[in-house]
């Protein structure tokens, strides 16, 4: 097994630094990946929610593994920058299933993955992370394994001990082989600072309206900033606005902010 572009793994890993945090506007198909790359992205991250939606499935470990891997491969082939793939809980029923998924991700050419705990017991994600790490290491791949902790995103547990629980999970996941920790749902600077201080690997947060800027997050110790499913949600909102305007007033003004046809078409015509 080989990674499509081996040097991308090293490059992607080197981009995780609070001095210049890695900013990721998550893509969900080839066109969105090309648009994001053309805007200056140093790397492409996929959004599992956006990918699932584009393929007709809801988010939440419903999308079939083979369909997810096919999409990842198409995105990798379409861009010249490193690609990291959000694989939800690993697209497998257990650690062995996650190992199979990671084998497919490496074959597709991605150099990183996100694996989330959600409402699973932390020990279960730890075993999934260990399987992913072992699979990547056996393949000689420098896969960047990003462990997502959903305590804040889902409001799990007691709010007074949520930070402590998050750190406990983070340390467990790092011990299992995680290269980075992703804590979506956190926006206040005190919590972000505490997470960055107490976690030994690069910290990833999810940004949106009201979140500090990328540079300000870097000052707090954040090494990676993702938009998650936000870009896909905004794109689908644009489609809904255009449809509501068309079926309501019969007007078309909302189309004025679209990317010009020749520009978008050219992005998909350029060889990589």
Tens digits of residue pLDDT in 80-118:
999 999 999 999 999 999 999 999 999 999 999 999 999
Residue 80, burial from CB neighbour count under 10 angstroms (0-12, 13-18, 19+): exposed
| Class of the CATH domain delimited by 6-229 | alpha beta
Beta bridge partner(s), residue 44: 83
Q: Are 34 and 79 in contact (CB under 8 A)?
A: yes
pTM, 2 dp: 0.95
pLDDT in tens, 224-258: 999 999 999 999 999 999 999 999 999 999 999 99
User: Quick one: DSSP state of residue 226?
Assistant: E
Q: Residue 135 has what pLDDT? A: 97
Q: Residue 271 has what pLDDT? A: 66
| For residues 157-176, average pLDDT | 97
**Residue spans of alpha helices (H) in the chain:** 6-14, 30-38, 48-54, 65-78, 95-108, 122-138, 162-175, 189-198, 214-220, 230-248, 261-269
Q: Quick one: pLDDT band at residue 2, thresholds 50, 70, 90?
A: very low
Please state, rounded to an integer, the average pLDDT across all residues of the chain: 96
| Number of CB atoms found within 10 A of residue 36's CB | 21
Query: Of 85, 146, 84, 159, nearest to 117 (Cα)?
Result: 146
Cα dihedral 42, 225, 39, 19 in deg (nearest 10): -60
Q: Residue 270 has what pLDDT? A: 73
What order do you get walking across the sheet with 203-206 strand by strand? 22-24, 224-226, 203-206, 180-182, 144-148, 112-116, 83-86, 44-45
Rounded to the nearest angstrom, the gap between the alpha carbon of residue 261 and the centroid of all alpha carbons in its chain is 28
Query: Of 212, 219, 157, nearest to 193 (Cα)?
Result: 219
Q: What percent of the chain has pLDDT over 90?
A: 96
Q: Are 84 and 111 in contact (CB under 8 A)?
A: yes
C-alpha distances in Å from residue 20, one per residue of 9, 17, 36, 182, 271: 18, 6, 18, 17, 29
| For residues 53-63, average pLDDT | 95
Enumerate the domain spans of the chain: 6-229
């Amino acid at each position: 097994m080989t990674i499509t572009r081996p040097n991308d793994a090293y490059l992607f890993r080197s981009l995780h630094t609070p001095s210049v945090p890695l900013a990721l506007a998550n893509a969900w198909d080839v066109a969105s990946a090309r648009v994001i790359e053309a805007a200056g992205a140093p790397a492409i991250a996929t959004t599992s929610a956006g990918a699932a939606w584009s393929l007709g499935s809801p988010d939440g470990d419903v999308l079939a593994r083979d369909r997810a891997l096919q999409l990842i491969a198409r995105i990798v082939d379409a861009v010249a920058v490193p690609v990291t793939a959000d694989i939800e809980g690993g697209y497998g029923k257990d650690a062995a299933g996650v190992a199979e998924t990671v084998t497919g991700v490496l074959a597709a050419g991605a150099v990183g993955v996100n694996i989330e705990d959600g409402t699973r017991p932390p020990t279960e994600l730890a075993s999934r992370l260990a399987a992913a790490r072992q699979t990547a290491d056996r393949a000689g791949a420098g896969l960047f394994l990003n462990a997502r902790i959903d305590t804040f995103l889902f409001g799990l547990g007691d709010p007074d001990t949520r930070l402590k629980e998050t750190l406990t999970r983070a340390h467990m996941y790092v011990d299992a082989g995680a290269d980075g920790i992703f804590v979506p749902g956190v926006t206040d600077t005190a919590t972000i600072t505490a997470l960055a201080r107490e976690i030994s690997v690069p910290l990833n947060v999810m940004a949106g309206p009201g979140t500090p800027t990328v540079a300000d997050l870097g000052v707090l110790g954040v090494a990676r900033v993702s938009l998650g499913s936000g870009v896909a949600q905004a794109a689908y909102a644009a489609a809904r606005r255009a449809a509501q305007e068309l079926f309501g007033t019969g007007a078309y003004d909302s189309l004025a902010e679209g990317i010009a046809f020749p520009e978008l078409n050219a992005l998909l015509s350029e060889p990589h």
